[in-house]
Structure 1
Amino acid sequence: MFIFLQYIHYNKISTMEFRKSCIALCTLLLAMTMQAQTQKWFNNVKLSGFALLQYQYSGQANAKANSFNVRMGRLSLDGRFMKDWYWKTQIQFNGNTATLGASPRMVDLFAEWQRYECFRVKFGQFKNPFSFENPIHPITQGFQGYSQVVSKLVGFSDRSGMQASNGRDIGLQVQGDFLKNAAGRNLLHYQVGVFNGQGINVKDVDQQKNIIGAIWVMPIEGMRIGVSGWRGSYARKGTWTDEAGVKQSGVRSLPQRRYAFSVDYVKDDWTVRSEYIHSTGFGFAKPLENTKNANATDCNLSTLGDKAQGVYALVIAPIIKEKLHAKVRYDMYQPSKGAERQRTQYDAGLDYAFNKNILVSGIYSYVHDRSLKKPNYSMIDVQLQFKF
């Protein structure tokens, strides 16, 4: 600026030239400021992702199969702005989908105000605050897939007939940690939210919102003991035949009431986790796969009734810390009242981490499915998992 004024003084420039010079200088300073701000913002943005490549064998009678598969891949961007705000967006790609229209799809898009540890506010599309397993990363989760009861009752392949939503919905949530002990570790966590109840990328249909929340205590380092609750509905607009055989049309809303008891312990490379989840509420006969096909307006009820429950328990133990693990899981799900259709799966396997970004996992599963004429069969699952 001093050099600029000296130049004006010694060269006796005209008023018009002076104005032009001032405008040019202001433009240059503004551009430099914007570039600095943009650079600061851009440096705060992180690109990450992961992929799960799979080989799977199933010995189920009359349905034997073995295939290589692209289980999923994801790309995400996240960052911070204005110090107190965190944001994230994430897209998922699936291989071998029944309809390519379902892939890619947006699974996350949210912003969260994080000024206070005890009170954080999140808005957008993100994980339902229900169960311990739901928010766990697919690689960290440890097995070939989430447990049956989480898949069926937390919004993955939901028994309600909802489209595959990866345990997510659209809504507003508050959460926080508080009650520190002498060591400065929080002893209590809560999270509660209001959601559409229709899963990802879909607006509300019945104008009724889901209330979902959880609370847990952390009595010792690495341990959580919690309970989750879910009260809401899932709805479609279409046609159905009622119990009297009369055809109906309009919006059909199915109440959903769910609760979960959860416990886990994660420390020194050990993981122990177990959950029981129960559901009351009917589901639609056909799952939603595409909003433009007939299933989207088919409001007839499933024959499974209005009760479902399940439990799982797992242990992941280090053989070589942070390198080689042995794992076992008991996984049981009852899709209807009683045990007539109960499916129980016993998993055992190993995983090996080449480094922090590349892992190979192998699981043997013995399945007992009472809904089948020949209920017993084996499965083998091998996955290469990598992230960046």
Structure 2
Amino acid sequence: MKIIRPILFFVALAMTGNIFAQNNLGKQAKEDLLQKTSFGGYVIGKASANDQDIYGSNKSHTNFDLRLARLYVDGKVLDFKYKFQMEMNGVSGTSKEKGPRIVDAWAEWVRYKFLNIRFGQFKRAFTFENPMNPWDIGFGSYSQLIDKLAGMNDRVGEHSSNGRDIGLQLQGDFLPIGKDNHNFVHYQVGVYNGQGINHSDENRSKDIIGGVYVYPVKNLAIGAFGWTGEYSKNGINVDRNRMAVGLKYEADWTVRAEFAVSEGHKVDDYESDGTLKNGTSDKADAWYIAVGAPLSKKCKVYAKWDVYRDNKEWNTQKSLYCLSANYYFCKNLKLQANYNYTCDKTTAGDSHYNTVDLQLYWRF
């Protein structure tokens, strides 16, 4: 009996401590959920004009557009970060599927810097520019490389997916160096359905996308990316095998440059019976060079050379020469003026034309 009583005492003490710890854990989770959750959104309005000769068409040379309208909730609870974001502009049910829809819905375990695990719907781990927020790229739109080869409006025929897909991703940073102790290596690799946002898988394969980049100094990244997988639509499967290299320097000055190659046909390259049309190509490439310079604390100007070749040949080249000025009235309100000169060898009509637009960014 003398032995049993101390044992019962310690068992009771352990159970009490366990209950106390669970209560504290639950209390901490509730506090994190309340204190570290934020709600917000942003809107980008656009007015544009171009001088392209459209040969008797009734299409307007000027346009007012709501480029983006998004609402989001994000935060952190315990060792998990999460985000849910919806795009609200557009008309639901159109052929481009640009209506109210979910663009982000993910949770990520972030206990260790060298290993984060993300699951859900999020940006593909391909290129430097694709993961960037529209507020930060400096221009009125993403580069053609991102649009055609990173899943914005992908060349294969995938529905507009804002560079996102559904899957599981590992990423992390390690090997701190320098006086500032910044991490030298960043990696990210993911397994995705391959069908874009809000779509289930349509084939037996999964897309594997990843990137590794190094930071010789704090704000300079040099990286390489790879993508292998398949896309399926209307019973037709097409390959997506891509590689990209680039560098990114982001501070007061900005320098970004990327080059990508792609191998794989488009869905439209096939007849309805699955036979390949004559004269099609499974090759494409793209590159851009962008530089940004601060004029003042509130104003930054950018210039970019942006090229996409749909068949990896000069006669399928579309080149954009871009200038942009960004003026911040405050942190959450920005006015952007853009000028693009377009040289498009793929069109039989007016292949050289100018476009100007004015975009107002605000967030809350």
Corresponding residue for residue 178 of structure 1: 174
Please state how far the C-alpha of 1:221 moved relative to its aligned partner: 1.8
Residues 222 and 248, structure 2, Cα contact 8 Å, conserved in 1: yes
Question: Which of 145, 165, 175 in structure 2 is aligned with 1:149?
Answer: 145
SS in 2 for 1:219: strand
| 1:282–1:301 Cα contact (<8 Å) kept | no
What letter corresponds to residue 320 of structure 1 in structure 2? Answer: S
- The change in CA–CA distance for 1:198 and 1:317 in structure 2 (over 3 A counts) is same
Query: Deviation digits for residues 217-276 of structure 1, max 9, x if unmatched?
Result: 10012100000000001012x3xxxxxxxxxxxx32211100101101112x21110100
Mapped pair 1:280 → 2:263 = yes
Shift of 1:182: 4.1
**Match status 1:354 vs 2:349:** no
Decide which of 76, 82, 85 is 1:87's aligned counterpart: 82
1:192 equivalent in alignment to 2:189: yes
| Pick aligned residue for 2:249 from 265, 272, 279 | 265
Compared CA separation, residues 352 and 163, structure 1 to 2 (3 A)? same
1:51-80 Cα deviation digits (max 9, x unpaired): 110011122221652111000111110111
Whether 1:109 aligns to 2:109 is: no
Write the distance in 2 (CA, Å) between the matches of 1:359 and 1:110: 28
Aligned mates of 1:224, 1:34 — CA distance in 2: 40
Q: What is the distance in 2 between the residues matched to 1:37 and 1:221?
A: 34
Offset at residue 383 of structure 1 (A): 0.1
Q: Once the two structures are superposed, what CA deviation does each residue of 1:294-330 show, in whole Å capped at 9, x if it has no partner? A: xxx9977686521110110111110002x01111110
Asked whether 1:60 is paired with 2:52, we answer yes
Instruction: Name the CA shift for 1:261/1:128 in 2 (closer, same or farther; >3 Å).
Output: same
Q: What residue in structure 2 maps to residue 164 of structure 1?
A: 160
Aligned residues: 331
d(CA) in 1 for partners of 2:152 and 2:141?
A: 11
Structure 1 CA distance for aligned equivalents of residues 136 and 105 of structure 2: 21
- Percent identical across equivalent pairs? 38
CA RMSD of aligned residues (A): 2.3
CA distance in 1, matches of 2:187, 2:154: 24
Partner secondary structure for residue 354 of structure 1: strand
Would the alpha carbon gap of residues 133 and 177 (structure 1) be closer, same or farther in structure 2, given more than 3 Å must change? same
List alignment gaps of at least 5 residues for structure 2.
1-24
Distance 1:233 1:196 in 2: 9
Shift of 1:128: 0.4
Q: Report the equivalent of 2:293.
A: 317
Contact 1:70 1:96 in 2 (8 A): no
TM-score w.r.t. length of structure 2: 0.86
Matched, 1:376 2:352: yes
**2:240 alignment partner in structure 1:** 256
Q: Which residue of 2 aligns with 1:99?
A: 94
Alignment gaps of 5+ in structure 1: 1-32, 239-250, 287-296
Match of 1:329 in 2: 304
Shift of 1:37: 6.8
Structure 1 residues 182 and 148, CA gap change in structure 2 (3 angstroms)? closer
| Pairing partner for 2:282 from 299, 306, 311 | 306
Structure 1 residue matching 2:216: 3-state secondary structure: coil
Provide the rounded CA distance (Å) in 1 between the counterparts of 2:116 and 2:173. Answer: 9
The C-alpha deviation readout for 1:4-56, integer Å capped at 9, x for no partner, is: xxxxxxxxxxxxxxxxxxxxxxxxxxxxx999975652232110211110011
CA distance in 2, matches of 1:219, 1:106: 37
Partner of 1:120: 116
